[in-house]
Chain A
């Protein structure tokens, strides 16, 4: 009797445990199933391009939209936000900026110094002269700027024409006509901030400058076609690409593009086989963004290798005839594209 009671109690216990386990398992299965549905995507326009953020978890759409609207206003070289104010401010008058603008400028000035000006966030006088400022860019032109004007613009296109004061987050212009432009680091900086908002889990895409956590298939745009020149499956990485094919016009059959070299001419202007596209991979999207522009200016050389090593980044550089790899880039170049 006693024995039978004990068995039935044990049996009840087993059934109850089984039921509980079943419930837990069903709940887990349901979560797995709904996992692909709870993925959120926010898309919009900012910084002269689009942004798209894919993430799971708590709804951060509003925070993402607010961030991008602040950066869009503050990073515009021509406008009423922080950089616009600095560019129109008189010499010697400190302009107070918000913490994002200051952080981006501090990082940009550092990379500019470390790359001996190859990455130059103060090149806006040249950008304007070559008709790439957003307010004047049309994608067409019939003549080049005057050589004397280029020389003058080079003199005022340097980060040494500005003073950053960390104590009160202010920026002071030191030379008349000097102007800043965060166009070559802004999208990367935005991707890094977006990635922070989504707790480092998901995909932050700011105008095709990426920060990703989970493994995704990624391609590099063919700079001279509509297909791709390289591909990779990447995770926990930042990826940025700069090239001469994104903003350009032709004068007498010669391509004039928006990345300014140290001599005041578009990067690679006097080169026989100029670099036309650079993809940099690393940990920070802002750094990858800035370095992709820097390498468009330096081309493939020992200085480029040293710069990438300094920031722990890798790069793939394409010319019209082939490619160079610096460091161990995760991208596999498509068959048919030859090594230079």
Chain B
């Protein structure tokens, strides 16, 4: 036998909607929180890496976590990654401005070789930009 109190409770739940306004708000909040979490995960997931373009085409994408020496396909240029920084260390261009730029590491920093059509740009991490790096 159920007590009158229990019967009252059963009656209460029977009458109340299956999916009430309270549940609805909880689901909305859940979706919102999950979206924000997913978004921050996507962001923080990306460490810094170098994108290497040759004549506008993305040719290489190098993480800066691992030291490496890497020739750029289709050019005479060689990239060196060391201590989270990257530089053009060899090239056959006339002025060697690209080599003179030295090592870069901050997001947004760039190395350019106009004669070879090479652009190395640091991406990932928090976006930052540097004015006055090249002319």
Contacts and interface: CB of A to CB of B under 8 A. Distances in A.
B128 interface: yes
Contacts of A50: 53, 110, 112, 119, 121, 134
A258 B119 CA distance: 22
Contacts of A239: 131
A65 B130 contact: no
B31 interface: yes
A49 interface: yes
A141 interface: no
A277 B97 CA distance: 19
Nearest to B32: A29
A239 B118 CA distance: 24
Interface of B: 17, 19, 21, 24, 27-28, 31-32, 34-35, 38-39, 42-43, 51, 53, 55-56, 58, 94-97, 100, 102-104, 106, 110, 112, 114, 117-119, 121, 126-135
The 9 closest A-B pairs by CB, nearest first: A241-B132, A44-B56, A246-B135, A50-B119, A221-B132, A29-B35, A241-B131, A218-B129, A217-B128
A134 B36 CA distance: 50
B132 A208 contact: yes
A137 interface: yes
Most buried by A among B32, B100, B103: B32
A48 B115 CA distance: 8
10 contacts: A18-B19, A26-B31, A33-B35, A43-B53, A45-B114, A218-B131, A219-B128, A219-B129, A221-B133, A223-B132
A4 B25 CA distance: 26
Nearest to A228: B130
Contacts of B131: 208-210, 218-221, 239-241, 279
Contacts of B35: 29-30, 32-33
Nearest to A292: B132
A142 interface: no
Contact of B129 (A32, A48, A205): A205
Contacts of A207: 112, 134-135
B38 A45 contact: no
A273 interface: no
A45 B56 contact: yes
Interface string A7-50: 00001001100100110011001101100110000011100111
A45 B115 CA distance: 9
Contacts of A268: none
A210 B129 CA distance: 9
A44 B135 contact: no
Contacts of B133: 208, 221
Nearest to A14: B17
B114 A217 contact: no
Contacts of A210: 129, 131
A139 interface: yes
A49 B95 contact: no
B24 A22 contact: yes
A60 to B, nearest CB: 15
A119 B123 CA distance: 34
A48 to B, nearest CB: 5
Contacts of B129: 203, 205, 210, 212, 216-219
B110 A217 contact: no
Nearest to B111: A50
Interface in A248-275: 258
Nearest to A50: B119
A15 B56 CA distance: 53
A15 B19 contact: yes
A163 interface: no
A288 B119 CA distance: 24
Contacts of B42: 33, 36-37
